């Protein structure tokens, strides 16, 4: 970067962070002066070859299936009576470049968001700065001025097959430079010529190969991919946070997160995810607490609590006692834990959606990292055609210095984004499974059904939140089919294999929002569950701290009668449970989980009874979208 408001473009050092700074945060660009000398050298070389009559693809020939047509000195139709009344000014070579742009700007659909278009402009300028495309310095300066002025060309979303590059969308980008097309300027949509005029800019006329250099490349698919990966990076961390909050709400087990476990299968994403979740859970007194301390939810009754500070609670709590004659073969277990069953199952492992979270989140993180590797290379790659090598040593023919190649083919990006595209519904799916586990009384380890007290049978609680998450997961899954496996030949079969990378990357960018919504819904639900879990545990602790073992005994559903032979043993063990509860401190989540819970609760209160939830859902989705969780 040059300064706080400018990114220096030299063709070789553009980063994803810099791209996002320009695309989403309004930074401008500056062109590296030394690299512009290289740009001009390639343009001068090309002009010299044209003046010598050298045949060059896309300069003195047609494009694609018209490549066998050499341009003449004048238009054939000019010799007819009346000439060619609608011909543009300039030579046939200039007309070729002009026509390439105006005839290729044929995309359909809604316009791309401004950040995508600005990213496309940055990418196009940066690749042309490498000096292998033949554009003039003044053309690059005009493109940079367009970006810095705040003009955003109208680029409809659909129309690229990803080879030869993103021809149609990049033509919409370039046509505004010529005074055509449409653009947004200062929030208004208008003709491109009017936007240029209002910004104090002049339209340009294209020279040799400049039309081809402007529209032949991977800038649309790269822009959408880079922005999608930037958003996904935050959602990966937020998904870990949601999982940590859910694990705390379950009073779950941390063994599956331990570093020595993941050292045995050291996939980078898996190792990193486990470490991140351990960090998020640091300071938790809920994870790994003894089974017997965790009560299960019981519906509130008027007789549930005797003390004034407890009577406002919306729930009752309870345990089951395990009689001595049911402990055979489990003596070692009951030497460690008291013989009470509450909300935490007596088993050494959690469900897959909790226990396998490092493996699943980590695999998605690895897919993201692989795509980032591809994008980082592409950001500083030359992707148009043909490629110009003005400094080639001892060239014998023009073909030695102007080489037709295939860098416009988007398959490296397409396959990388196919991987990410398949990973997105996987991350959404495991998030929804955790959400579902939280609301289902058969699986939520003693929390209330649908996370509401519902003593009168009138409340639905968080029931339909899971429906929405399920619908989103299904929608994401049905959109995950890879576009890259389905090539449709174009240009009269001259371009007989294409990447469909533009569709692939656009799909991923569109899917990011729904992934964020699913993760937001898990956070919303986990916060409610966490409040219940902490309230239930701390209610039990308060009773125990008063030494009120009789109240604790009264909350054991199968307490033996006084005349039962095991009654004395039961009383002794209830007193031990009471003492164990009294000895522990306040029950709370990990520090980072608490911080996230506080952020959410500042905007959305605990739902003690049914209320309209649409505003809650909208708010939590906005919190995730606005990166409120760090």
Q: What is the pLDDT of residue 83?
A: 47
pLDDT tens, position by position, 274-307 = 999 999 999 999 999 999 999 999 999 989 998 8
Pairwise CA distance, residues 175 & 102, whole Å: 6
Map residue 78 onto helix, strand or coil: helix
The closest of 337, 402, 580, 396 to 42, measured between CA atoms, is 402
Pairwise CA distance, residues 156 & 172, whole Å: 8
Q: What is the pLDDT of residue 107?
A: 97
Q: Are 629 and 596 in contact (CB under 8 A)?
A: yes
pLDDT tens, position by position, 75-127 = 655 554 544 545 555 678 888 889 999 999 999 999 999 999 999 999 999 99
Q: What is the pLDDT of residue 48?
A: 86
> What percent of the chain stands above pLDDT 70?
94
Instruction: Return left, alpha or beta for 436; rule: phi > 0 is left, psi -120 to 50 is alpha, else beta.
Output: alpha
What average pLDDT does range 5-23 have in this prediction? 97
The structure's pTM equals: 0.93
Domain regions of the chain by residue span = 6-217, 284-349+431-625
Residue 213 has pLDDT above 90, yes or no: yes
Q: Are 296 and 317 in contact (CB under 8 A)?
A: yes
Q: What is the pLDDT of residue 50?
A: 80
Tokens in use for 288?
């790994």
Q: Are 282 and 242 in contact (CB under 8 A)?
A: no
Q: What is the pLDDT of residue 41?
A: 94
pLDDT tens, position by position, 443-497 = 999 999 999 999 999 999 999 999 999 999 999 999 999 999 988 988 878 788 8
Catalytic residue IDs: 57
Cis peptide before 386 (omega within 30 of 0): yes
CB-based contacts of 623, cutoff 8 Å, min separation 6: 520, 523, 599, 600, 603, 629
Domain 284-349+431-625, architecture per CATH: Up-down Bundle (1.20)
Terminal Cα distance for the chain, rounded: 24
CB-based contacts of 437, cutoff 8 Å, min separation 6: 246, 250, 351, 353, 354, 443, 444
What average pLDDT does range 410-423 have in this prediction? 97
Tokens in use for 552?
């604790």
What average pLDDT does range 521-534 have in this prediction? 98
Map residue 509 onto helix, strand or coil: helix
Stated length of the chain: 630
Q: Are 173 and 127 in contact (CB under 8 A)?
A: no
Instruction: Return left, alpha or beta for 95; rule: phi > 0 is left, psi -120 to 50 is alpha, else beta.
Output: alpha
Predicted confidence band of residue 72 (pLDDT cuts 50, 70, 90)? low
User: Which stretches does DSSP call E strand in 192-290?
Assistant: none
Q: What is the pLDDT of residue 2?
A: 44
Average pLDDT over all residues of the chain: 93
Q: What is the pLDDT of residue 494?
A: 76
Q: What is the pLDDT of residue 49?
A: 80
Residue 53 has pLDDT above 80, yes or no: no
Residue 628 has pLDDT above 80, yes or no: yes
Torsion of CA 241, 236, 441, 472, to 10 degrees: 140
Contacts 24+ apart (CB under 8 A), 391-398: 391/41, 398/49, 398/54, 398/55, 398/56
Map residue 258 onto helix, strand or coil: coil
What average pLDDT does range 324-344 have in this prediction? 94
DSSP H stretches of helix in 498-630:
501-545, 549-554, 567-583, 591-603, 614-625
**Dihedral sign computed on CA atoms, order 570, 573, 577, 583:** positive
Q: What is the pLDDT of residue 253?
A: 96
Query: Which of 27-41, 349-363, 388-402, 547-561 has the lowest average pLDDT?
Result: 388-402
The closest of 627, 508, 514, 512 to 222, measured between CA atoms, is 508
Pairwise CA distance, residues 519 & 23, whole Å: 25
DSSP 110-177: EEPPHHHHHHHHHHHHHHHTTS-S---HHHHHHHHHHHHTT-EE--EEE---SSSSSHHHHHHHHHGG
pLDDT tens, position by position, 155-208 = 999 999 999 889 999 999 999 999 999 999 999 999 999 999 999 999 999 998
Pairwise CA distance, residues 448 & 296, whole Å: 8
Residue 22 has pLDDT above 90, yes or no: yes
Q: Tokens 């030359």 sit at which residue?
A: 382
> Bridge-partner residues for 296, per DSSP?
318
- In eight-state DSSP terms, residue 329 is T
Q: What is the pLDDT of residue 85?
A: 47
Predicted confidence band of residue 73 (pLDDT cuts 50, 70, 90)? low
> What percent of the chain stands above pLDDT 90?
82
Q: What is the pLDDT of residue 93?
A: 80
What average pLDDT does range 368-388 have in this prediction? 96
Tokens in use for 499?
């990447």
What average pLDDT does range 533-557 have in this prediction? 96
Q: What is the pLDDT of residue 454?
A: 93
Pairwise CA distance, residues 199 & 196, whole Å: 5
CB-based contacts of 410, cutoff 8 Å, min separation 6: 162, 163, 165, 166, 218, 221, 498, 499, 500, 501, 502
Q: What is the pLDDT of residue 490?
A: 86
Pairwise CA distance, residues 112 & 153, whole Å: 9
Pairwise CA distance, residues 272 & 314, whole Å: 40
Residue 128 has pLDDT above 50, yes or no: yes
Pairwise CA distance, residues 447 & 442, whole Å: 9
Residue 325 has pLDDT above 70, yes or no: yes
Instruction: Compute φ and ψ for 426, nearest 5 degrees.
Output: -65, -45
What average pLDDT does range 128-135 have in this prediction? 95
The helix or strand, by DSSP H or E, that contains position 435, with its residue range, turns out to be helix 411-439
CATH class of 6-217: mainly alpha
Domains 6-217 and 284-349+431-625 share a fold: no
What average pLDDT does range 570-575 have in this prediction? 97
């Amino acid at each position: 970067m040059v300064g706080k408001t400018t990114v220096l473009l030299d063709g070789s050092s553009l980063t994803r962070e810099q791209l996002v700074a320009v695309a989403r945060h309004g930074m401008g660009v500056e062109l590296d002066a030394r690299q512009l000398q290289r740009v001009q050298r390639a343009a001068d070389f090309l002009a010299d070859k044209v003046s010598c009559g050298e045949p060059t693809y896309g300069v003195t020939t047609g494009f694609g299936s018209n490549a066998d047509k050499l341009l003449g000195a004048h238009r054939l139709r000019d010799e007819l009576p009346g000439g060619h009344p609608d011909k543009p000014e300039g030579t046939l070579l200039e007309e070729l470049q002009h026509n390439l742009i105006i005839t290729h700007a044929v995309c359909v659909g809604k316009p791309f968001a401004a950040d995508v278009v600005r990213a496309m402009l940055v990418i196009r300028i940066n690749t042309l700065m490498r000096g292998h495309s033949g554009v003039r310095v003044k053309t690059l300066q005009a493109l940079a001025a367009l970006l810095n002025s705040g003009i955003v060309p109208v680029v409809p979303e659909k129309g690229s097959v990803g080879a030869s590059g993103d021809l149609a969308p990049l033509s919409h980008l370039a046509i505004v430079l010529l005074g055509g097309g449409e653009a947004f300027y200062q929030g208004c949509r208008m003709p491109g010529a009017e936007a240029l005029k209002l910004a104090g800019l002049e339209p340009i006329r294209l020279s040799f190969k400049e039309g081809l250099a402007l529209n032949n490349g991977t800038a649309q698919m790269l822009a959408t991919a880079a922005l999608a990966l930037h958003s996904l990076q935050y959602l990966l961390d937020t998904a870990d946070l949601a999982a940590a909050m859910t694990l705390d709400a379950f009073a779950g087990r941390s063994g599956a997160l331990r570093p020595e476990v993941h050292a045995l299968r050291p996939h980078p994403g898996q190792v990193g995810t486990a470490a991140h979740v351990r960090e998020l859970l640091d300071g938790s007194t809920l994870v790994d607490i003894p089974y017997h301390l965790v009560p299960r939810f019981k519906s509130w009754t008027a007789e549930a609590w005797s003390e004034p500070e407890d009577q406002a609670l919306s729930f009752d709590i309870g345990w089951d006692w395990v009689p001595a004659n049911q402990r055979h073969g489990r003596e070692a277990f009951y030497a460690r834990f008291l013989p009470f069953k509450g909300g935490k199952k007596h088993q050494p492992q959690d469900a897959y959606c909790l226990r396998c979270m490092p493996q699943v989140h980590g695999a998605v993180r690895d897919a993201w990292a692989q795509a980032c590797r591809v994008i980082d290379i592409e950001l500083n790659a030359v992707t148009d055609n043909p490629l110009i090598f003005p400094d080639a040593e001892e060239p014998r023919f023009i073909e030695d210095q102007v080489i037709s190649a295939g860098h416009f083919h988007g398959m490296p990006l397409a396959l990388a984004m196919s991987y990410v595209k398949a990973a997105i519904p996987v991350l959404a799916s495991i998030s929804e499974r955790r959400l579902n586990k939280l609301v289902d009384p058969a699986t939520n380890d003693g929390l209330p059904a649908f996370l509401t007290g519902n003593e009168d049978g009138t409340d639905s609680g968080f029931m339909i939140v899971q429906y929405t998450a399920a619908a989103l997961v299904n929608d994401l899954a049905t959109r995950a089919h890879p576009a890259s496996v389905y090539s449709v030949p174009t240009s009269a079969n001259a371009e007989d294999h294409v990447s469909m990378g533009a569709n692939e990357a656009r799909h991923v960018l569109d899917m990011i929002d729904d992934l964020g919504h699913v993760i937001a819904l898990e956070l919303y639900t986990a916060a409610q569950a966490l409040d219940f879990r902490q309230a239930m545990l701390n209610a039990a602790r308060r009773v125990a701290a008063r030494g009120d073992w009789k109240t604790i005994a009264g909350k054991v559903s199968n307490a033996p009668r006084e005349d039962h032979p095991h009654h004395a043993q039961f009383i002794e063990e209830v007193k031990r449970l009471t003492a164990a509860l009294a000895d522990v401190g306040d029950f709370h989540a990990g520090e980072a989980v608490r911080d996230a819970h506080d952020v959410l609760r500042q905007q959305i209160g605990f739902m003690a009874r049914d209320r309209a939830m649409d505003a809650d859902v909208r708010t939590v989705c906005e919190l995730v979208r606005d990166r409120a969780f760090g």
